[in-house]
Amino acid sequence: MGGEDDDIPLVAPTGGKVDQPRIARAVREILIAIGEDPDRDGLRDTPARVARAYEEQFAGLRQDPGEVLTTVFEAGHEEMVLVKDIELYSTCEHHLVPFYGSAHIGYIPNSNGQITGLSKLARLVDVYARRPQVQERLTTEVADAVMKHLDPRGVIVVIEAEHLCMTMRGVRKPGAKTVTSAVRGDFRNRDRTRAEAMSLILSRD
């Protein structure tokens, strides 16, 4: 890669924030490169706006999944807990365009009956979704975080998503859905447990 910005060091932003001025400069460059006038009325504020949007879109890079799953109760419940249809929005790391869909997370608490707040599972999805991602890694990262922080007997994560990089450009196949799963512990070892979770996930009511 050449260009006048070669002397800018490749360092991660500090202070828990993205480097907004740097993003704004880069977006201005992109606008020029596509043949736009970055100083016309409609675009003048766009570089700064994109920088602010990226602050939110990539906030997960600076969040610790362990902090999200801290609220752990002992409820004595040792059967499956399943939160389904968790809406998710992420950014494809190949094209930096969105992919979006639903995540479903089921787990079986350990013999201490340790459970977490239901909202924490949805927050966990956001921590990993708000990063440049591929769907497979998003799925395994959520599963591994639940295993690590809740120490359950098993976890299953299923994600269904549509990728705008396959819809608005490239192969252009609107409606194509990618389904990924990650199973750990009892969900991996016991066919009936996995089948029960899948039938609950696939039931549409």
CA distance 157 to 92: 19
Q: How far apart are CA 132 and CA 40, in angstroms?
A: 30
165 is catalytic: yes
Show Cβ contacts of residue 17 under 8 Å, excluding neighbours closer than 6 positions: 55, 62
| Residue 104 counted as an annotated binding residue | no
Task: Tell me how far, at minimum, the Cβ of 50 lies from ligand GTP, in Å.
Answer: 21
Hey, what's the torsion of the CAs at 190, 192, 198, 203, to 10 degrees? -160
> Residue count at the site for ligand GTP (CB under 6 A)?
10
State the binding partner of 80 from ligand GTP, Zn ion, none, CB within 5 to 8 A by kind: none
Active site residue 92: yes
Cα(205)–Cα(202) distance, integer angstroms? 9
> Which residue among the candidates 95, 160, 162, 196 is catalytic per the annotation?
95
Residue 134 touches ligand GTP, criterion: CB under 6 A: yes
Work out whether 103 is an interface residue with Zn ion (CB under 5 A).
no
Q: Where are the beta strands (DSSP E) in the chain?
A: 72-74, 81-92, 98-108, 114-116, 132-133, 154-163, 178-185
Number of residues that bind Zn ion (CB under 5 A): 4
The residue (of 19 and 141) whose beta carbon lies closer to ligand GTP is 141
Instruction: Just list the catalytic residues.
Output: 92-95, 135, 163, 165
Residues that bind Zn ion (CB under 5 A): 92, 94-95, 165
Residues that bind ligand GTP (CB under 6 A): 92, 94, 134-136, 163, 165-166, 170-171
